[in-house]
Structure 1
Amino acid sequence: MPVTALISAKSCGVTATALALTLASKRPSLLAECDPAGGTIRTGFMQGTTTTGYGLYHLATAERVGPDALAQAFASHLLPMDPDGHRKLLPGLTDPTQAAALARTWSALAEVLHVMATDAEHDVFIDAGRLALEAGRLHPTLTPAPLIYQADLVALVVRGTDQSLMLARHLIAPLRAELDEHGSGSDALVLLLIEDGPYRAHQVADALSVPVLGALPWEPAIAGFLAGGGRVPRGYGRSPLLRHARTATEQLEALAQRRRIHQQWPQPAHAQIAGVLQRLTQAQEAGHG
């Protein structure tokens, strides 16, 4: 199963989108709330049902003890989001000043999340919040850079508005360069479109030169519930937002699988054949010589 990091250029509904994907997946799923600006799910969607004794910040201390301590702390700080425990949440920071303490924890956490994806077969979604750059690089404190670098896919959440596309456009080139240099390649970058605004998926893909992997309907009542909690809206379980989110999870899995195959066999078949033919030709010419 893939590890997908969700980011935005500005507040574009990353948390609501990450929640929709986690809750809609057909497979067991995990949402890691890793926005350095602080998490909102425990007081929003979870409606304060958990205390600050649980969450991301506690992993920093465990990581300094060692890998076993980190793994045990990670497991003990996962909260169920459904009665069966198929949807799990790692709650985020309650204080943005805690983010600096996680600087050396992100890489180790990325490895744990990949174990959850590959060995425990969970769809893993990372709410990485707003992308912050410094001198064309991912900011070392305001962005969980190692989680983004090591993710199978990086999904930039955008809206179909001029403002959202303008802000996203300035991130594309440096983000691609960072993924090529430190990640698994710039082809890990995709878009998730919230259909709020005049522009459709093909127009957004053309404008940003990045494929739109999923388009989620703009349903303010459902998105507001996911982002802020409160009373469950009528029709929540059958909402178009969750139906399209489920489709998006399937698209993410399919793309991640294609990328894995491509990385295992990086040379296209025709290039391999061309190389064989070239060697045969050279051998024949040497024999005639």
Structure 2
Amino acid sequence: MAVITLTSAFASPGVTTTSIGLAIAWPRPVLLVEADPTGASGVLAGFFRGAWSYQTGLVELALASSGVADALPTVVQRIGDTSVSFLAGTRSHTQATGLRGLWDSLITALAELESSGQDVIVDAGRLGVAGSPEPLIAGADLTLLLTRSSLASLAGTKSWAETAREPGIGWRQPGALLIGESKPYRTSEVSKVIGLPVVAALPDDPVAAAVYHDGAAPPARFETSAYARGMLAVVEAIQANIAHSRSQLVEDGLR
């Protein structure tokens, strides 16, 4: 399928939570890359509640003498009996700036995983932070800018959306993912304000979201909840968006 990167411009709309949820719901083998430069793994400390200790991750990948593509399989971990693999991020924000030389090689290696039937979801954290993995944001097959629909969130998101779609230096395929539609603005209104297509919307449900960001026990009927169904709908929307983009490229090439 592709490399999908999630990021945000304002506050904490739930990039890590959504990244984990999408990975768990993904229908094919998928690699979850924790590239948030703020450190202190949200996956290990949150989803696994500190029960799963750091073993290897981006730092070891950057230091590997065999090259990124060859070393990548040696630094990922499988999440239980799922089809999700996990590449841990930095243990401290001070390590993030030392990874600048890794990102270009990593986006190339991640794109090559598609040939083996594996997709990639990247948690890139918040934009504008020192050590931000810019090549993973700009070079993904689809980069989703997460936002809520409050005026404050939209103001920050709009500014970064202008950069994302700037010809020549913007992102390869930018889009938005709305958290909490109609609180207060709808998808169409948000898209008009920020100038990006809203690929999908996810319900704002803190109790259900805590399953992913805090490792909380799933509430009753979690699997059939609006949040779980919304996560599956986001997966389908992402797949449809990428398929359409690739089809359009083929058509443009034939003209």
Normalised by the length of structure 2, the TM-score is 0.91
Distance (whole Å) between structure 1 residues aligned to residue 116 and residue 47 of structure 2: 25
The amino acid that maps onto 1:22 is A
C-alpha RMSD of matched pairs (Å): 2.0
Preserved contact between residue 22 and residue 123 of structure 1 (Cα < 8 Å): no
Q: After TM superposition, give the deviation of residue 120 of structure 1 in Å.
A: 2.3
Q: After TM superposition, give the deviation of residue 151 of structure 1 in Å.
A: 0.4
Larger radius of gyration: 1
Preserved contact between residue 33 and residue 89 of structure 2 (Cα < 8 Å): yes
Within the candidate set 63, 80, 97, 1:100 is matched to: 97
Aligned residue number for residue 43 of structure 1 = 45
Aligned residue number for residue 9 of structure 1 = 9
Preserved contact between residue 201 and residue 212 of structure 1 (Cα < 8 Å): yes
Distance (whole Å) between structure 1 residues aligned to residue 74 and residue 97 of structure 2: 22
Residue 195, structure 1, aligned to residue 193, structure 2: no
Distance (whole Å) between structure 2 residues aligned to residue 101 and residue 165 of structure 1: 32
Residue 264, structure 1, aligned to residue 253, structure 2: no
Aligned residue number for residue 277 of structure 1 = none
2:47 alignment partner, SS class: coil
Within the candidate set 174, 191, 197, 1:205 is matched to: 191
Aligned residue number for residue 60 of structure 1 = 62
How do 1:88-237 and structure 2 match up within 5 A?
Answer: 88-116=85-113, 118-132=114-128, 141-177=130-166, 180-182=167-169, 185=172, 188-195=173-180, 197-237=183-223
Q: Report how many aligned residue pairs link the two structures.
A: 252
Q: Write the deviation string for residues 72-98 of structure 1: whole angstroms up to 9, x where unpaired.
A: 432122222241x30121122110110
Normalised by the length of structure 1, the TM-score is 0.81
Unaligned runs of 5+ in 1: 133-138, 273-289
Q: Write the deviation string for residues 207-227 of structure 1: whole angstroms up to 9, x where unpaired.
A: 212111111111111212211
Aligned residue number for residue 19 of structure 2 = 18
Report the CA distance shift for 1:75/1:243 in structure 2 as closer, same or farther (over 3 A).
same
Unaligned runs of 5+ in 2: none
Preserved contact between residue 37 and residue 96 of structure 1 (Cα < 8 Å): yes
The amino acid that maps onto 1:260 is R
Preserved contact between residue 100 and residue 131 of structure 2 (Cα < 8 Å): no
Identity %: 32
The amino acid that maps onto 2:36 is D
Distance (whole Å) between structure 2 residues aligned to residue 262 and residue 237 of structure 1: 35
Report the CA distance shift for 1:234/1:74 in structure 2 as closer, same or farther (over 3 A).
farther
Worse-matched range after superposition: 35-44 or 74-83: 74-83
2:4 alignment partner, SS class: strand
Distance (whole Å) between structure 2 residues aligned to residue 246 and residue 82 of structure 1: 20
Q: Write the deviation string for residues 230-273 of structure 1: whole angstroms up to 9, x where unpaired.
A: 33333333332222222211221222122223223426x8xx5x
